[in-house]
A and B are shown apart, each in its own frame.
Chain A
């Protein structure tokens, strides 16, 4: 069964460092998403991406964050100059289409900023 895969599963980084979280969406999907979940809290939308550009982003997704689809299979989230409060699970998701179609999630990357 096709699935969204994310690497690494865990990442520990020092405050101020840059991290890149990687995702391989399901191959025939066209919409890609990043979500964040701080420990014990709800899943929060960060950004959606379609046709090689950001289609929507939340207030969380500020200049510290960027996304890229560097090739035909990977979808990355870059966090510049990480802060302690960036520690969270980051989930990638993909869907066949936007709006009305359900998104499928990866297993997540646990980011710890120390």
Chain B
């Protein structure tokens, strides 16, 4: 099946710093999604990307769908303590062939006040 490589695995940053994480795949995805998971909770959708090259923002979050459709990045600007959690990228395949969503291994973010 399609595999996603997400990096970095973990980040330790100071409050106020910017953060960048990315996902790559050997396969093409038609949709890229970024989720955040707090301990003991389900993943919560942050940003959805539908078109190659698309750049989308949601507050301090910005994500881009790579031109090749095989990668995506998520940036968080001016991090705050509540940004702590695990961030997952997820890829969705073709509408007619693939209804499952594949997740990256996650980036664990720690923000020091």
Q: Which residues of A contact B (CB under 8 A)?
A: 4, 31, 33, 35, 41-45, 48, 50, 55-56, 58-59, 91, 93, 97-108, 110
Contacts and interface: CB of A to CB of B under 8 A. Distances in A.
Most buried by B among A35, A42, A110: A42
Contacts of B63: none
B82 interface: no
A106 B41 CA distance: 8
Contacts of B106: 42
Can you list the 4 inter-chain pairs with the closest CB atoms, starting with the nearest? Answer: A99-B95, A105-B42, A98-B99, A43-B103
Given A99-B92, A102-B33, A56 B103 contact: no
A41 B95 CA distance: 27
A2 to B, nearest CB: 13
Nearest to A41: B105
19 contacts: A4-B42, A33-B100, A33-B101, A42-B106, A43-B43, A43-B88, A45-B100, A45-B101, A48-B99, A56-B100, A58-B100, A91-B43, A98-B95, A98-B99, A100-B95, A102-B45, A103-B45, A106-B42, A108-B42
